[in-house]
Structure 1
Amino acid sequence: MEGPKDVIKGWVDAFNSGEADRIAEFYVDDAVNHQVTQDPVVGKEAIREMFAAEFASADMTCLIENIFEDGEWVALEWKDPNGLRGCGFFHVKNGKIAFQRGYWDKLSFLRLHNLPIE
């Protein structure tokens, strides 16, 4: 059985593929993804829809800077090729993500991808 850190490394590979269906398979059915720049997204299908919309609007790449595992929790420090940096915390249970919280600069992201500033 893969450890939580291995699950998140697989999640990064899925994220970098830009395939929402593939990345959604890493979540439990009632998972919560809370990117602190927006409201929490609840449920695997809603998370899949969130990623589909995001992948359609921006070319996103996650490069692992550091990854740490503590029991069922994984901390991921990441950057993208444009210099945006952030971190995410994942609660992994039985090989699936039950909870995710991400911290990153939304204004910088919107500017980097020439997206409208809300």
Structure 2
Amino acid sequence: MSAAEHSGPDELVTEFCRAWADPDPATIAGFFTEDAVFHNIPMEPIRGRAAIEEYVAGFTASFGGIEYRIHHQAVSGDIVLNERTDVFTMNGRTVELPVTGVFEIRDGRIAALRDYFDPTPLTAGS
């Protein structure tokens, strides 16, 4: 199912989160608008679908898939908020990262994504 074929913002975000389990950079980037902004708040924002695809390719190269465990998800119009735990393996250890994501949806795609998290679990023990 392509990103544009989802019935609404809630389903789009849920499917986006599932796609990270076996991440294909082009597939993940396809959920975004051409002019999207992906901002992991502790870092600099990534602008544009092509740059997002490049970021995903580099980010997942060292550990592969991420399991997004969604705990709560709320929708208000074209805004989706989700509270989740992102679980992945880095350097032989499992890292569980609490995240709150704010998704802005436009024309069936993600126009903006802001993920708020404390990066400490990513760097602990490295």
Do the structures match in fold with TM over 0.5?
yes
Higher strand share: 2
Higher helix proportion (structure 1 or 2): 1
Question: Unpaired runs of 5+ in structure 1?
Answer: none
1:37 Cα deviation (Å)? 1.3
User: What is the CA-CA distance between 1:107 and the residue it aligns to?
Assistant: 2.1
Aligned to 1:64: 70
Q: Could you list the runs of 5+ residues in structure 2 that have no partner in the other structure?
A: 1-5, 88-94
RMSD between aligned residues? 1.5
Per-residue CA deviation, residues 57-107 of structure 1 (Å, 9 max, x unaligned), is: 234221111111000000011113443211110000111000110111212
* Runs of 4+ deviating beyond 4 Å: none
Percent identity between matched residues is 28
- Scaled by the length of structure 1, the TM-score of the pair is 0.87
Correspondences of 1:1-118 after superposition (within 5 Å):
2-59=7-64, 60-81=66-87, 82-111=95-124, 114=126
Cα deviation 1:10-66 (Å, max 9, x = unaligned): 101112222111101100001001111110100001001111111112342211111
User: Contact 2:18 / 2:67 at 8 angstroms: preserved in 1?
Assistant: no
